[in-house]
């Protein structure tokens, strides 16, 4: 199993909408590196659901429910999406400020490549962030 972090602006698509919808296609990614990350995701992988801009915190955990396929929102057919399923809320949201303040997370992709909307998370970082948020991984 691989781990990821996916970002969404809560005023565009929030954690509560993800929970309400259950399984949702993760569409609209238009960055080549983020596209590669989406294409690498496999059914069963887990991802942190991160609210960007407003909140700037990990608020939940999702699971990849469908491997990458053509993004139906892309007119040119060059982009991909995956389907994700809500697993549960992060008991204690983990803020970007807390992540930046933690030296064990200095090389976390979210911090190093802050503009990417889909980033990998190492096993060690996953376990660390789960502990910070009170999530039983």
Q: Which domain holds residue 17?
A: 3-133
- pLDDT one-digit tens code per residue, 103-132: 999 999 999 888 899 999 999 999 999 999
For the segment 75-96, the average pLDDT, to the nearest whole number, is 97
Burial of residue 31 (CB within 10 Å: 0-12, 13-18, 19+) is middle
Q: What's the rounded Cα separation, in Å, for the pair 52 and 50?
A: 6
What's the whole-model pTM score? Answer: 0.96
Number of domains in the chain: 1
Q: What is the CATH number of the domain that holds 31?
A: 3.10.590.10
For the segment 91-109, the average pLDDT, to the nearest whole number, is 97
């Amino acid at each position: 199993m691989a781990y990821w972090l996916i970002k969404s602006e809560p005023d565009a698509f929030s954690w509560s909408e993800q929970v309400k919808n259950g399984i949702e296609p993760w569409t609209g990614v238009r960055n080549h590196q983020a596209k590669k990350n989406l294409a690498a995701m496999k059914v069963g992988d887990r991802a942190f659901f991160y609210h960007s801009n407003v909140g700037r915190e990990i608020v939940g955990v999702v699971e990849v429910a469908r491997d990458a396929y053509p993004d139906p929102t892309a007119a040119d057919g060059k982009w991909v999406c995956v389907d994700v399923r809500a697993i549960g809320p992060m008991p204690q949201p983990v803020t970007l400020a807390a992540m930046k303040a933690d030296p064990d997370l200095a090389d976390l992709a979210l911090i190093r490549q802050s503009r990417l909307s889909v980033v990998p998370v190492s096993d060690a970082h996953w376990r660390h962030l789960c502990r910070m948020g009170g999530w039983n991984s």
